[in-house]
Amino acid sequence: MKRILLLLVFIVFTTKSFSQDSKISLEINYPLPDHSFVRESYHGIIDVGVDYTFTNLNFLTIGAAVNGVILNKKIKENNGFEDFRITSYVIQPKIVTELDLESVPRFHPSVGIGYSLLIFDASNGYDGLDASDTTKSGFNLNIGLAYNLSERFFVQIQYDFILLKYTVEDSDIKFNTTDNLNLLKIGFGYRL
């Protein structure tokens, strides 16, 4: 693990030393799920992301981003004899536009649109067996605001609205349904 972290730090500083005007930024956020089925007992663990800028217009940048979110839920049943742990992995690729206004140079509002994939991994904590795995996916709308602390470092807040569409199967009944996942993310980033 230490080798991987050391390698990542080396890559970040090496790419910075060879780049004149890098178009890549890295971010780490704390995700807070709200007002959805995920909110029920799920806790945010971490959100990491990478942004790449395709084009930089006078007041607008357009690029692509991908974020990975980890959420966790623990369920205790039968007076604590059976406990299940459900880990949800959210993968969020998207196209992002960010405003670069001269009147407020430190603030950068952004809007993104993409597709999210939620992978639920359930395991039984008592005997270590896998209980079940499901996957859900849907349209993702992202809005955010970043504040530059310096030329490279920034803090940010983001809101993700994810419209999930999936099929529910229960004995003889099978139907399609939708649900919403709302994530508030607070964190910081570094422009390479």
pTM (2 d.p.): 0.79
The domain made up of 25-191 is a member of CATH 3.30.465.10: no
Q: Give CA angle at 120 (114, 124), nearest 5°.
A: 170
pLDDT by 10s per residue, the chain, length 192: 566 656 556 665 555 544 446 789 999 999 998 766 655 678 889 999 999 999 988 889 999 999 999 998 877 765 656 677 888 899 999 999 999 888 899 999 999 999 999 998 887 655 555 556 778 899 999 999 999 999 999 999 999 999 987 777 776 777 677 788 899 999 999 998
Which pair of tokens denotes residue 176? 């399609």
Which pLDDT score is estimated for 19? 47
Is 15:162 a contact under the CB 8 Å cutoff?
Answer: no
pLDDT confidence of residue 18: 45
- Nearest of 100, 15, 88, 67 to residue 187 by alpha carbon: 67
Indicate the domain borders of the chain.
Answer: 25-191
